Amino acid sequence: MPLITPPSFVSTYLNNNGYDFQPNLLIIAENYPEPTLARYFYSPILPNFKNRLIPSFSKEVFRNFGVNGNNERTMMNDFLNGVGIGTGRRLLIDALPDGVSPLIHRPISPNRLNDLITDVINIDPNYILIVHNKNKELAEGFLKSTRFTHLIPRLLINPFAKKHSNVFPFLSAPADPNNFTRALNEVRKRGIPI
């Protein structure tokens, strides 16, 4: 069943290729209005896509999960298929809809949170990693939802978090990508196969 929250062309691609069900790791990233991160991450599947310098966000995703190469579409599919560091397939989606700026210190809307939780339930990942720079309230929304209760043990803990333990640092500029790498590697040292 195609996911509700990604753009339809992304949902269709993920569903047609079996990427949207039971990955080992689900990464939920925050959205920026231009371009939206997951939409930008998945832009190599667009029919009019032209090769480009790989954007810093995608480059950091690939680097942190040991995906090598120089063809962005191949690297994106390798990431989804679990090539590189860790075990099992991976999936990346956005927390917010296309064109919505990060919600600085405001909760995600109840409708969007409900749709996102529906998607996470349908995806049924082994582990959930929330990557956010500004809207850390997403994790709080998950933790308060009774629909999400059975998934709380799957939320990864950032060992270096001072305030929001279920939120990992953003992994590209304007944030320092080394903070994400450090937290991810510490989780791996603790035996989580991601």
Could you tell me the CATH number of the domain that includes residue 78? Answer: 3.40.470
The DSSP secondary structure of 144-192, one letter per residue, reads H-GGGGGGGGGBPP-TT-SS-TTEEPPSSTTS-HHHHHHHHHHHHHTT-
Share of the chain above pLDDT 90, in %: 61
The DSSP secondary structure of 6-54, one letter per residue, reads S-HHHHHHHHHTTTTSS-SEEEEE---SSS-HHHHHTGGGSTT----PP
The pLDDT of residue 157 is 96
The pLDDT of residue 186 is 98
Looking at every residue in the chain, the average pLDDT score rounds to: 89
Q: Which residue has the higher pLDDT, 37 or 117?
A: 117
Judge whether 1 lies within some domain.
Answer: no
Is 192's pLDDT higher than 60? yes
Dist CA 39 CA 80 (whole Å): 15
Judge whether 2 lies within some domain.
Answer: no
Confidence of residue 3 (pLDDT cuts 50, 70, 90): very high
Judge whether 164 lies within some domain.
Answer: yes
Number of domains in the chain: 1
Is 154's pLDDT higher than 90? yes
Is 97's pLDDT higher than 80? no
Per residue in 63-93, pLDDT tens?
999 999 999 999 999 999 999 999 999 999 9
Dist CA 183 CA 100 (whole Å): 27
Share of the chain above pLDDT 70, in %: 90
Is 101's pLDDT higher than 80? no
Judge whether 91 lies within some domain.
Answer: yes
Domain that holds residue 100: 8-189
Is 30's pLDDT higher than 60? yes
The pLDDT of residue 181 is 97
The pLDDT of residue 84 is 97
Is 119's pLDDT higher than 80? yes
Confidence of residue 168 (pLDDT cuts 50, 70, 90): very high
The pLDDT of residue 22 is 98
Judge whether 3 lies within some domain.
Answer: no
Q: Which residue has the higher pLDDT, 183 or 35?
A: 183
Cα-based distances in Å from 175 to 47, 136, 151, 189: 31, 14, 28, 23
Judge whether 24 lies within some domain.
Answer: yes
| Burial environment of residue 105 by CB neighbours within 10 A (0 to 12, 13 to 18, 19 or more) | exposed
**Which SS3 state, helix, strand or coil, does residue 99 take?**
coil
Is 35's pLDDT higher than 60? no
Query: Edge-to-edge, what's the strand order for the sheet holding 25-29?
Result: 90-94, 25-29, 127-131, 167-168
Which residues contact residue 118 at a Cβ distance below 8 angstroms, ignoring those fewer than 6 apart? 4
Is 37's pLDDT higher than 80? no
Judge whether 35 lies within some domain.
Answer: yes
Q: What would the two tokens of residue 147 be?
A: 């629909």
